[in-house]
Amino acid sequence: MKIGIAGLGLIGGSLAKAFKKYSDATVYGYDIDSSITDIAQIYGATDHELTSDNIMECDCVLISLYPRAAVEFLKDNAPHIKPDTLVIDCCGTKRMVCKVGFELAKKHGFVFAGGHPMAGTHKSGFANSNEDLFKGACMVLVPPVFDDIILLERVKTVLKPAGFGQISVTTAEKHDKLIAFTSQMAHVVSNAYIKSPVANEHKGVSAGSYKDLTRVAWLNPDMWADLFIENKDNLLNELDFFINSLKEYRSAIAAEDDKKLRRLLEEGRKRKEEVDGK
């Protein structure tokens, strides 16, 4: 099998390393930074540079670029991708990329599915990529037809070397709505929280809760800014709800309203129990 990977950062680099370690696939790799393309080859994560001339040799193309860059890559390379080739993007938002991907796939005859590997670390780049990054993780898939079992099995077979624990199927709209809550909000809140001047004095008086809340503040600003803006309608809805909720807590604390504050805290505790289980 021949695999093309566009984007050799944390996700793309980890996919490349997984395919090289756990399969006999030939891996073609490309990165916007040509030095990373060269480094990946020297490291042994890829065999050849992925180009518009050899992309037609690939049985599967995985696009691990920022959403706008992924769309441009698709537009530039769609005419060169052979019919029936499986193309999966790995972007953190799905609506824009899937819209373009489905249209181009229909026009040029390849098979496109949106994808989002639910794995990562607070560190980015090829240097931090790991062949075992996806072991046991969930791969979210947005297929053109929701109940296409044949496509689902094909994706499972192709991605087997990455070691995903499960594949979750959804729509682009549902994905972006959920990801605003489960991922993007966590990064916004963590990044804003750590800006307190008191953060400089935390050593010696911080434990697990501080570490849990601030872990994802250490993020890739370029990538997350792109994702936030791309999904701004869903993210703004979550932010508005959160800000209004915080105002309730602030009001209760400022008024020393013990009864209201206890109610708010109990509501949050019960909600956690409901959504995640005891």
Query: How far is the C-alpha of 85 from the C-alpha of 21, rounded, in Å?
Result: 23
pLDDT averaged over 10-residue windows placed end to end, the chain, 278 residues = 97 98 97 96 96 96 96 97 97 97 98 95 90 97 93 96 96 97 96 93 83 91 94 98 98 97 97 87
In tens, the pLDDT along 65-118 reads 999 999 999 999 999 999 999 999 999 999 999 999 999 999 999 999 999 999
- The torsion angles phi and psi of 227, rounded to 5 degrees, stand at -65, -40
Pairing verdict, β 111-118 and 138-142: antiparallel
Question: How many residues appear in the chain?
Answer: 278
- What pLDDT is attached to residue 200? 87
Residue 278 has what pLDDT?
Answer: 63
State the architecture of 175-276 in CATH terms.
Orthogonal Bundle (1.10)
Please, where are the H alpha helices in the chain? 10-22, 34-43, 67-77, 95-108, 149-159, 172-179, 185-193, 208-214, 221-230, 232-254, 258-276
Tokens at residue 78, please?
Answer: 């769609």
Domain spans of the chain?
Answer: 2-170, 175-276
In three-state form (DSSP H/G/I as H, E/B as E, the rest C), the secondary structure along 121-135 is CCCCCHHHCCCCCCC
The predicted pLDDT at position 205 comes to: 76
* Beta-carbon contacts of residue 22 (< 8 Å; ≥ 6 apart): 131, 161, 162, 163
Tell me how far apart the 2 most distant CA atoms of the chain are, in Å: 69
CATH class of the domain defined by 2-170: alpha beta
> What's the half-sphere exposure (Cβ side, CA atoms, 13 Å) at 278?
0
